Amino acid sequence: MKRFSRVVLLWAFCMVSTAVFADPPMQPWYQSVMKMKPEGKLGQIIKQEKVATSVKGAQAWRVAYISSDVSGRKTISTGLIVAPTGSAPAGGRPIVTWAHGTTGTAQNCGPSQVIDPVVPINEYFLIGGNSWTDYGVPALQEFINEGYVVAATDYQGLGGGGIHQYANGVSNAMDTINAARAAGSIKQTAANKKTVFIGWSQGGLAAFAGAGLADYMQQTGTAFDNLDMLGFIAMGPAYFGTSSGKLDQAAADKYITDSLKSYVHNIFDFAHASMFFYSLPAAFPDLKLTDVFTDEGVKVLSEIYANKCMHVASDTMNYNIGSSYNSLLKPQFTNTMAWAQALLKTSPAYEKLIAPVQIYYGVADNVNNPAMGKFFQDQMCKRGANVGRLQLPGEKTGHFNEPPVSQQFFLPWIKDRFAGKPLPNACPQS
């Protein structure tokens, strides 16, 4: 009864609150961006400012730039561009474009918004984490030392207005690609076209989706045409896969039920899964939250996810709802065909990939089951792609250890791609 009372009290608060769908307080720079219209070329910077950084030999900018989403609509994304100082080598500098993990869906959850954002990755759950969120870029100092330009998107909806399309792999991949275009458009970066895409968790899913966006990559008339994407790295990736066989009503019912309920084992998992379903209608307006959640669930989740970032939102859910989180779900989902079709569009498995994909995972990852990455590898290797998969050392290497532990492996992998070294096929041999 105690937990039930907390839910009822929170529901009652939501009913009288006028801030259910209000944006949280924002820094003036982002407030001005949120008033801008998403007009311009893909990757075109519409606002920028210099940002101080303690990374040696680096210069940085906070930017707002034009992107687009899975439904073809123009959006505004914010983020960071970091480049070495000094003269560039002949031929320019290659680009590493970073897709971050889950930070939340509220406007103030963009990693570029924290104090001193241009740093190596800093995680909430790890010793040394100094913020309510995860921010920064893994191996940032090493990337600068190697002479790379680094683009780090916030994704749309995390400071640029609109509702963030959380874990929508295609939309998030587009934001990451357009961040690279934005980086190339800044003359001071002296960027060339060679690019590698690296993502973790939510960003790992974006890497999978981006690896198939050949037509999107080949578009001309952008702020920086003809990026030469040489590889994709996915650390601890999420992947929802594809439904097998014909997508009839029974298959759609099962696919949506399995996709949501099988991913939910505790309140932390529920926060991730419900956040994804909460944000999916932003890309597909024919979906309604009441198809999946109870009226009470919609009010509770809307109040939390519109105002709080991931780890804080999870704590709020735990305090107020605890193990009763399934009570926010409808016993029987409706409109499942539309939800299944939308879900498939956010995380497609393509017939052909742009470049090789390398997956790194921890055996103790209990956030994104390593089987999801294995499923992607199996699917794509059967279609002739080159997809490697490496289990990271350490029996206790889990989801939040994957970026620092992966660094020793992805740094030489990226360097070899920029150097043009051949890469043997890394698919399992039968």
100-109 per-position pLDDT tens digit: 999 999 999 9
Structure-token pair, residue 399: 């989801």
Structure-token pair, residue 138: 């893994």
**Given this model, what pLDDT does residue 244 score?**
56
**Given this model, what pLDDT does residue 13 score?**
31
Short-list 364, 381, 369, 363, CA closest to 259: 369
User: What number of H helices and E strands is found in the chain?
Assistant: 13, 9
**171 Cβ contact list (under 8 Å, min separation 6):** 69, 70, 75, 155, 156, 165, 283, 346
Structure-token pair, residue 157: 């909806």
Domains and CATH numbers, the chain: 2-23+251-344 (no CATH), 36-241+352-419 (3.40.50.1820)
pTM check: above 0.75: yes
The terminus-to-terminus CA distance of the chain in angstroms comes to: 55
Give residue 35's pLDDT band: very low, low, confident or very high (50, 70, 90). Answer: very high
Structure-token pair, residue 217: 């990559």
- Coil/strand/helix, residue 353: coil
pLDDT in tens, 160-169: 999 999 999 9
How many other CB atoms are found less than 10 A from the CB of residue 18? 6
**Given this model, what pLDDT does residue 4 score?**
30
